[in-house]
Every structure is written in C-alpha cells, then in structure tokens.
Amino acid sequence: MLFSTKAEYGVRLMVELGRQPGSQPVSLGSVAEAENLPLSYLEHLVAKLRKAGLVTSTRGAHGGYRLAKPAEEIQMDAVVEALEGQIAPMECFHDSPEGKVLCSHESDGDHACSTKLLWMRVQGGVTKALAGTTLAELVEFSEHSAPKRAAAISAA
Amino acid sequence: MLFSTKAEYGVRLMVELGRQPGSQPVSLGSVAEAENLPLSYLEHLVAKLRKAGLVTSTRGAHGGYRLAKPAEEIQMDAVVEALEGQIAPMECFHDSPEGKVLCSHESDGDHACSTKLLWMRVQGGVTKALAGTTLAELVEFSEHSAPKRAAAISAA
DNA sequence: GCATAACCGACCGCTTCAGTAGGATTTGAA
DNA sequence: TTCAAATCCTACTGAAGCGGTCGGTTATGC
C-alpha cells in the first residue's frame, strides 16, 4: 500500500470541509459522524493539517475548523504530504536544500545507484497526479452522480 | 515512504543479474557482496521473484540465478509487484476479477467515496512509471556515466 | 459557570519490516 | 564417496509504524 489511512481519512476530512458552503467553522465531531471515522483519531490528523497551514481552527463552543484557502487553490500534494510526510518512493530519497531530490546511495563506487532512474520516474508520476488535483475537484466529484465520475478519472 | 527496501534490494538484485553477460547463473552470494546487502535477506526476496517467474534458479554447486527473460522484456511493475505485493495506493483498492480497480467504500450512502478520483490518478501515475520502465533501461543507466543519466530520468 | 469544542501527550495492541539463524536439499567436483 | 557450494525453507526477533483510545487542559459562547 502506497499510503495509509492517514491520507485517506485526512483527505476525506478536507473534502468534508470543502463541502460546507458558509464561512462558519465545522466541528470535528460532525465530520467524524458524517464520514463515520473515530473522532479522537481525526484530532491527530487535523493537527497535522493545521500545522501545515491547510486548515484554521477556532476554539471554544461553536468552534471548529475551516479551510485556510479556497478549495480551488489547495493542491492535494500538500494535503497528502502534510498527513503522510514527504512523498518519496524510497528511504534513500530526501530533498536537498536546493529542492532537488537526491539518493543517498549515489556514491556507491564503481557504478551509481541503479534504482535511481526508476524511483525518480515513480516520484514524478505520483507528485504529478497529486499536484494536478485540487481539493475543489474532489469536492465536486463527490457531489455528482456516477456517470460523470468515470470521465473525470481519466482527465488527470 | 511509498516502497520499502524490499523493492530497493530486489530491483538492485535484478539489475545485477541483468548486468551479467553470459548465460551461466550468478550466485546470490556474489550479488550480496557486489551490492553490499545481507545474503540471508536477499534469499527471501529472490524467492518472491522466482515465484513470480522473473528469475530461474539452478541448485547445487556453481548454481545460482539468472533472468527468466531478456532484460528488455521485463517491465518493472512486475518486479515491484512481486516484491511489495499489489501496487495500490490505498487499502480499500483491490483488483476485481475483471481486472478493474475498485474501491470498497463505493457504497457509502449519500455521496460516493470522495477520494477515489485522487487515488485512481495516483495509481495511474505509478503504474505508468513502473510499466514504462524496463530492466534493460536500469541496467544501461547503471553502467553509463553521470551526464547521460540526467537526460534519461526525464524520458519517462 | 456550564457545555462545547479545540488541543495535547501518553499509552496500547497489532502488523510489518529488516534481518538472523539453522537447517535441509541439491549438485558439481575432487 | 565425500566435500563444498549453493539453493531452499521455516521459524524467530527487535524495532518501528499504524490505528486507535484515553484523560486531561484550555478556550469560548451562551
């Protein structure tokens, strides 16, 4: 499995927030009930989203969470990365300060890391899929009927 | 991390087999030494590759492993899948008998699984990257000099 | 001041990962 | 025919992450 339920639940949570029309905050409890997910586990996940600046919170009674930006401006790579940590195909991949992806096996002596080409391509495919999908798309997808959905999937 | 070291080690192992020119088998011990990987762990991995029909083995002295097919005909999705199990972005994804990918949250009541669109796109990106890369490419990549490599990565 | 909600940290059972260990079987060669 | 090299197989282990629970603290509206 590429991702755990952290990404699954967290994305569901984000979509649920994106569904709300008004600007008043939505309590985690209502999200948990709507999506049938454990409240106390969602608390951990939403904390990651908040620290990543994807949602804002208001405390106290009638408090809750709302999106920090319009759903159209939220790319899913940011959401998944906030929940799962850095999206790298392999342990040895890490972001260098300059933003490039490196492989720590690079200096292996006679021949360079033979897997780098493969993982670079995989990472490219994943980030392209994630960054090319906005939260607004998912919200719309979830609200419309089945026939429309089949077409949307291939429009990546 | 999308994949574990099982895929990393296993792919390295396959590349090492692909590097060998002749048709005589290569012992796991020599692969372990060349790639600096624990022999007994490689035994587990190569067993998966063998069961998947990607390598063949000859037992006894001077025995070892070799590729079951020419490297040009080995697509990396088969290799990674043999090592890691089915390549699905999320637990709820599974292959139906007809070969289509399904999501077990599909019947969620009022609105369909809001994450399906996203995970379908991710899976598409990954499988495209893996299936579009052959073992032969990795072998060649590992044998050539650094400048050539930068170009190869973007040629996914 | 009370209910509601966000926040925070500790804990727990479970599974997987990465690796080890020990043996058995097969085979070529001395 | 015996030995060494190799595949093959099963069981085990420590560590880490996952999925989730729990108890408590803080902030806020009514």
pLDDT digits (tens, 9 = 90+) for B72-109: 999 999 999 999 999 999 988 877 655 556 666 654 44
For the entire predicted model, the pTM comes to: 0.91
Residue A63: the pLDDT is 98
Percent of chain A with pLDDT over 90: 73
Do B99 and B128 meet the contact criterion of CB atoms below 8 Å apart? no
Q: How confident is the model at residue A80 (pLDDT cuts 50, 70, 90)?
A: very high
* pLDDT above 70 (res A115): yes
Residue B46's DSSP bridge partners are: none
B112 to chain A, minimum CA–CA distance in Å? 6
Cβ A15 vs Cβ A47: under 8 Å: no
Q: Which pLDDT does position B93 carry in this prediction?
A: 83
Looking at the partner chain, which of A1, A91, A121 has a beta carbon nearest the beta carbon of B129?
A121
Determine if strand C comes within 7 Å of the CB of A155. Answer: no
Closest to A71 (Cα-Cα) out of A48, A49, A55, A51: A55
Name the percent of chain B lying above pLDDT 70: 81
Report d(CA A19, CA A14) in Å as an integer.
9
Q: A52 or A91: whose pLDDT is higher?
A: A52
The whole-number pLDDT of residue B100 equals: 57
Q: Is the pLDDT of residue B155 over 90?
A: no
**B10 burial type by CB count under 10 A (0-12 exposed, 13-18 middle, 19+ buried):** buried
Place of tokens 């969602």: A42
Q: Is-contact A84 A44, C-beta < 8 A?
A: no
Q: CA–CA distance from A90 to each of A2, B1, B2, B3, B156 (Å)?
A: 11, 6, 6, 6, 18
